[in-house]
Amino acid sequence: MKKLILTASLFTQFCVAQQSNVKYINSCATSVRMENIYVQYPYLKTEARAFNLKLSDLTKSGKISTSKNQIYEIPVVVHIISDGSNLGSPGNRTDQQVIEWINYTNEVFAGTAPGILGEADGGTVIPVKLVLAKIAPNCTPTNGVTRTNLSSNNQYLQYGVNSATGYNGVHESMITQLSRWDPTKYYNIYIVNKLATGTFLASGYASFAGTIPMFDDSFLIGNVCSTGQATMAHEFGHALGLWHTQEGSNGSACPPNADCTLDGDMVCDTDPMSDLLGSLCTTGTVNSCTGNIFNGVEQNIMAYTGCNRNRFTVGQKNRAIAQLLQYRSNLLNSPVLLTQPLQNNFNLTPTCIPTYMSGSAGDHHSGITMVKFGNINNYTETYNLSNAQFYADYSSNYCLGTAFTSIPLNAPTELSVTVGYNYHHIVKAYIDYNNNGIFEENTEMVFSQTNIPGSTTVTAIVTPPLGALLNTALRMRVIGDYDLPGMTYSACSAPVFGQVEDYAVTIGSNLSTQNDSVSSVQIYTDSDKNIVIKSPQEKINSVILYDYSGRILKKYDNINKKEFIFSTSYINQNSLIIAVENSQGDAVSKKLHID
């Protein structure tokens, strides 16, 4: 696996000084950033529009609601990008300051921070809690805070970070390459000395849920990263899909509001308003967009306003949680908040391993984003320059997800795979049923589908054959790649622009722990090289002989006996797998070598 690591000394080569005029407006640049992302990746805007239409229908039908008691914990890591100033200053916050700041942000969401309205006071609780990660990507304990020193970088010292190219400052992608944890497991927050999007100087920005993971983070300047500042709650509100309450306003002009579920901020209990940044507090005055006295929208945490921001609304909560459940189940299922790391350490039979990518490197955003199979529930990042990983063996030395499952023999288990964001994909999956280290295309390929649109989840039903080796960790391989015309993909092909992932699967019989009807079955050869099968309890229903490649050599049905003997003289094989099923449908298999 390749990972691009830049040191601070090499970093300056990416920071070419270019003269640009910057407007010093200390506000949020999320809207500007999202506009730029949607221009670069228009399909993301199409997907967002589709979700908003669905959410609009649910809102209008009254079917959208949230649980009052559910609190959703979000694992976060805070990256301090130090400018070398004194520890504790805005350019170099201490770990303790960060911890207190995150705690304060959670109090804002809960409506318990000083001056913030709770449900009893006309506000609304946003039921999320930011929790600093306890497990680092290398499986060691962490306090969820990292520190990178850029005090030797003049571009950073003078201009800070810019999310757009061609401007003074360090581009945000260079910051994330220096310090970034897997965004499918952690929500990354960056504290920097200065921040801009193009010519727009900002105190912070974030990206909406559903954005490509490489953009899924928040950047804030150190001045607003302290207790008493609600800026992080504002930015994470964006990460939960909340727009500014003045969204659609152009200066003093009012935003459209023909359909409050789709216009403006798409929330119906926040009145439309114009941009009030830089104005005096307008509480008690007439809202020019409604003709009525301002009713609290001018004090909303998502507003541009001259008032103290002190509240969320029920409509904002409903939209935020809908977005969270739709797009951030990866974070809700992340194991990095556990006190002890998960263990995935299986010694699987060696097989072919992709050692290179046949296509060119780049931000392809293709491959696999999720695999679910039995207990396996693993979210991963697609291939891109910040995550140049085209092959991963998650069965070994992996602690950031569950990469092992046990499935029943001769019974169905659903396999779900979600593909990357760009282009149509092909997905293939294999299980090495006989554990010989070779994925047989005819007998061990459990799933194959082509022409899969980006971001789509596909499913298959996997039923292991009776000849599968039982109670042994077997390798499962999942492939997600561009569906290129004329391209043939096999289990051992080098990925073109996608990814290959390996997992561990154990196959057990359909038996309950109380049923020992097959555990007592005896399978052996006698002195005449006949195969003898004895079942002391249930009668034998069928016997299947496989070679080690999984090919069926012989099948006997409707035996209806407790003892079955047959000759192997007609079989030109020394090594066999014998699968036995009894009259209750329980099964057992055994490897047998005939001398």
| Kind plus residue range of the DSSP H or E element containing 482 | strand 473-482
Q: In the structure, what pLDDT confidence band is assigned to residue 590 with cuts at 50, 70 and 90?
A: confident
d(CA 506, CA 123) in angstroms, rounded, equals 51
pLDDT above 50: residue 19: no
Tell me which amino acid residue 75 is.
Answer: P
d(CA 42, CA 410) in angstroms, rounded, equals 45
Name the phi and psi angles at 214, rounded to 5.
-65, -20
**pLDDT tens, position by position, 107-162:** 999 999 999 999 999 999 999 999 999 999 999 999 999 999 999 999 999 999 99
Average of per-residue pLDDT across 583-590: 78
pLDDT of 425 reads 97
Is residue 467 a contact partner of residue 546, using CB atoms and an 8 Å limit? Answer: yes
d(CA 302, CA 310) in angstroms, rounded, equals 10
pLDDT of 549 reads 54
Q: Which of 33-37, 362-366, 397-401 has the lowest mean pLDDT?
A: 362-366
pLDDT of 4 reads 30
pLDDT above 70: residue 586: yes
DSSP secondary structure, 90-140, as one string: TTS--HHHHHHHHHHHHHHHHT-STT---GGGT-----EEEEE-SB-TTSS
Residue 213 is classified by DSSP as G
pLDDT of 11 reads 34
Residue 84 is classified by DSSP as S
Structural tokens at position 523: 């399978």
Residue 394, CB-side half-sphere exposure with 13 Å CA sphere: 27
pLDDT above 60: residue 189: yes
pLDDT of 515 reads 46
Percent helix, strand, coil in the chain, to 5, is 20, 30, 55
**pLDDT tens, position by position, 509-568:** 653 333 455 667 888 888 888 899 998 888 998 888 876 655 677 888 889 999 999 888
**pLDDT tens, position by position, 396-409:** 999 999 999 999 88
The CA-atom distances, in angstroms, between 569 and each of 15, 377, 531, 551, 556 are 75, 46, 10, 18, 16
Question: Which residue would you say has higher pLDDT here, 85 or 42?
Answer: 85
- Average pLDDT over the chain reads 88
The CA-atom distances, in angstroms, between 16 and each of 22, 32, 40, 259 are 16, 23, 22, 46
The CA-atom distances, in angstroms, between 484 and each of 158, 359, 441 are 46, 11, 20
Task: Note the pTM of the prediction, 2 decimals.
Answer: 0.81
Structural tokens at position 410: 């001769």
Query: Which structural domains are found in the chain, ordered by start?
Result: 23-243 (3.40.390.10), 344-508 (2.60.40.10), 522-593 (2.60.40.3080)
